[in-house]
Amino acid sequence: MPLHDWARLPGWEGVHHLWLSELLHWVKPRLPARYRTYLRTTPTFSNSSPPCDESDANPDPGWRNDNALHIERDGRLVASVELVSPRNKDRTAAQRTYSDIYTSYLLKGVNLMLVDVHRLPVRFSFADRIAAELGIEQPPSPAPFANVYRVGEPSPDGGKFLALWRRALMVGQPLPTLPLPLTVSEAVPIDLEGTYARAAEAAYLE
């Protein structure tokens, strides 16, 4: 099913919930042994807590209640799929909060697939914010997009290497299949098109 124009169409909240459920059902049987996946409220990371610590999840203040798909191994969060909602970026405070959250995944060594199918606001992009925060030189990456970030081996200059897959999405066009890294050498393919189509069909979207 081609991508809808979510600037013109209501019903995102239902599709968001259903899409995450479809992604969970897609990923679970494809994970290697010792990995598990689940849906959980998007966390806020603290510098002193491990990424999988329950203390990292802030109580929902009313507008921050999105879930994300998480994958862990041996009790440690290793990868996440985040589907951006309009309220994640409709205010300056929300843009700042979620930019920090998405960047914190990478700083904590968690691989990330970030999918934003909402083209508004046109002058804001989480992908550009992450690139600026991490010092990544890249052309502008306006929404809608699907980006994958793989946290790699330690860098000689400190920190870790970061691999990046960037895919621009277009209204009316199918979505891609992209790898979600679990480690430097392991990944699970994510069928964004198939999972999105089933979610949209379940939500009675044409």
pLDDT tens track for 137-149: 999 999 999 999 9
pLDDT (0 to 100) of residue 128: 98
pLDDT (0 to 100) of residue 57: 38
- Residue 34, Ramachandran bin (φ over 0: left; ψ between -120 and 50: alpha; else beta): left
pLDDT (0 to 100) of residue 84: 98
Are the beta carbons of 119 and 143 closer than 8 angstroms?
Answer: yes
Q: What are the sequence ranges of the domains in the chain?
A: 12-202
Q: Identify how many contiguous H helices and E strands the chain contains and give both numbers.
A: 4, 8
Among the listed ranges 4-13, 18-27, 154-163, which one has the minimum average pLDDT value? 154-163
The reported pTM is 0.89
DSSP result, 93-121: HHHHHHHHHHHHHHHTT-EEEEEE----S
pLDDT tens across 35-51, in order?
Answer: 999 999 987 665 433 34
Q: Which helix (H) or strand (E) holds 187?
A: strand 187-191
pLDDT (0 to 100) of residue 102: 97
DSSP state of 155: P
Among the listed ranges 57-66, 78-87, 149-158, 179-188, which one has the minimum average pLDDT value? 57-66
pLDDT (0 to 100) of residue 158: 75
Q: List CB contacts of 8: < 8 A, sequence separation 6 or more.
A: none
Nearest to 68 by CA among 108, 105, 29, 122: 105
pLDDT tens across 108-158, in order?
Answer: 999 999 999 999 999 999 999 999 999 999 999 999 999 999 999 888 877
Q: List CB contacts of 191: < 8 A, sequence separation 6 or more.
A: 26, 177
Q: Residue 1: which pLDDT band, with cuts at 50, 70 and 90?
A: confident
CA 114 to chain centre: 3
Q: How far is CA 17 from CA 20, 52, 84, 136, 203, in A?
A: 5, 22, 12, 32, 10
Q: Is the pLDDT of residue 194 over 90?
A: yes
Are the beta carbons of 113 and 146 closer than 8 angstroms?
Answer: yes
Q: Is the pLDDT of residue 4 over 70?
A: yes
